[in-house]
Amino acid sequence: MKVTASSLAGSASSHVPTEWVAINWRLVQRNVRAMQHRLTKATQEGDWRRAKALQRWLTHSFSAKALAVKRVTENQGKRTAGVDQQLWDSATQKFAAIAQLKKQGYRPLPLRRVFIPKSNGKMRPLGIPTMRDRAMQALHLLALDPVLETLSDPNSYGFRRNRSTADAMSQIFLQTCRKVSATWVLDADIEGFFDNINHQWLVDNVFIDKSILSKWLKSGVIDRKQLMATTAGTPQGGIISPALANWTLNGLETQLIAHLGAKFGKSKAGKLKVGVVRYADDFVVTSGSKELLETEIRPWIEAFLAVRGLRLSSAKTKLVHIDEGFDFLGWNFRKYSGTLLIKPSKKNMKTFYEKLRKTISENIGAKQENLIRLLNPMLRGWAQYHSPVVAKEAFSTMESLLYWRLRRWAMRRHPKKNDSWIRDRYWRPTESGNRVFAADVVTKNGNKAMKELYSLPGTAILRHTKIKGGYHPYDPQWELYGETLRQERMLKNMSYRREWAKLYLDQRGLCALCGYEMNMETGWHDHHMEYRVAGGSEALGNRVLLHPNCHINVHANDLHVAKPVPV
């Protein structure tokens, strides 16, 4: 019998499904969402006994367990095994994994240590849990995140839903742009943040099952075939780690403002122009007084961190005047003759150019169209990241550097050809009279077209709309705002493909199969309801957007996807 998407998304069944493909994901997500709404309300009311009971209910539910398994088997790490070398590839393994997510008898295995390069040339250690441990972390994160969001600082932007680096940048702009704004900045850096968080503090303060958390923290790590104990810190690489990191630093903003209000009085404290903007473990503190930052705020922050086993880096933490400028999240913030300008930082530009140079050097023998396919996502992503700031000069500079790098690439391929031949071969004229690095390609319809390199100077500079500080992704009152914000930002990211933007808008940002939201983290695929090999057209009426794994599921199980009705 042919399985259809409608049969998976029909009315709620009174019994638990018996196989992975039969799970009604819309119902699963609705059940988890309803429990998270109730957990949020209990937290807001300070009813911790009810909140704890709701957390236990959520982590024991079939829906939450199924969603946890779905997450770890569909994210980027699904092909990376832990120390047990096990992966959950098949539908049978995924469904069997749901029953493994239980507290009784649970003992996490040690982490597998791997190293990835950092921007400064050093190596960053990651701890890779097993699939089961990842799923357990994802399960308990479903119960922790609503509490965390309720208690989070309003200007904390890292690893939180619908919050981004651009929101942090916009908040710094608001705190420093005017003539009467704060003029001094404490550019802070925490020394070895993830490696030094005090385990006992986490167990005592994080609102999560304490026995489970303690087991994760003490599970150990296998590095070069040797088991090493973990006595402090939370390993980078675990699904729960970002939430634990945010919980550790929550209160840095609200408690600091409360401390200043208690010491100087609320009216005077408001005139001190103190503001905290944090993204994960990176943060800046603004103030109108250098002396206040040195003698009052920095000592308070050091005491706040010390309780958690942390300390500021004496080498990297500095006090700067806004006229001198400072770097944060890849941007440089500086006032020029009283006007605040935010530009891509020199370090960020250097790192990105090195990435381009390496890609081009490693593809000296590649076809021109293949090189363009490699470079375009990199160029578009970098340009979109910097599109809300003053980046036109940086775009032009990078375009010039890239041009000469591509000239060298072409000359190495044809050492006996002159400049004129190379220019005509690789740089095609456009209607405007300019030349672009482009190649002829054959489209899906069999027609010829010109594949152009993405133009950095052609990127539009658009001011970012900052998220509201009080936004809560699990509070029903903010549901419409969050959906609208997410769709606006996704449409901006899809601006280079108007057809995708139209499909996304028609589907209200939801996957046409499972009905769950699509964003930059989940990704999306363009699916033809009548396959092209069967004569299906490229018209929008024959296409829908699906999650990548939903797309695989459609083809693997011969599912029929109906066209969503535009709203």
CA-closest candidate to residue 388, choices 169, 193, 162, 209? 169
The residue-averaged pLDDT of 421-449 equals: 85
First to last CA, the chain: 32
For position 107, what pLDDT does the model report? Answer: 94
496 φ, ψ (degrees, to nearest 5)? -80, -10
- pLDDT tens digits for 429-442? 887 778 999 998 87
CA-closest candidate to residue 205, choices 169, 285, 151, 272? 151
Give percent above pLDDT 90 in the chain. Answer: 65
The DSSP element (H or E) to which 342 belongs, if any, is: strand 339-344
Contact 473, 482 (CB under 8 A): yes
CA distances from 272 to 17, 293, 354 (A): 59, 10, 42
Task: Determine if the pTM surpasses 0.85.
Answer: yes
The residue-averaged pLDDT of 472-488 equals: 91
- pLDDT tens digits for 163-200? 999 999 999 999 999 999 999 999 999 998 988 999 99
112 φ, ψ (degrees, to nearest 5)? -100, 120
> Helix or strand or coil: residue 120?
coil
Q: 39 pLDDT exceeds 50?
A: yes
The residue-averaged pLDDT of 120-148 equals: 90
Write the DSSP assignment of 46-60 as a string of letters.
T-HHHHHHHHHHHHT
- pLDDT tens digits for 48-101? 999 999 999 999 999 999 999 999 998 888 888 889 999 998 989 999 999 999
Taking the C-alpha atoms of residue 567 and residue 564, their distance in angstroms, rounded to an integer, is 9
- When mean pLDDT is compared across 139-148, 211-220, 414-423, 427-436, the lowest value belongs to 427-436
**What angle (nearest 5°) sits at the alpha carbon of residue 377, between those of residues 128 and 115?**
20
User: For 445-473, what is the HEC assignment?
Assistant: CCCEEEEECCCCCCCCCCCCCCCCCCCCC
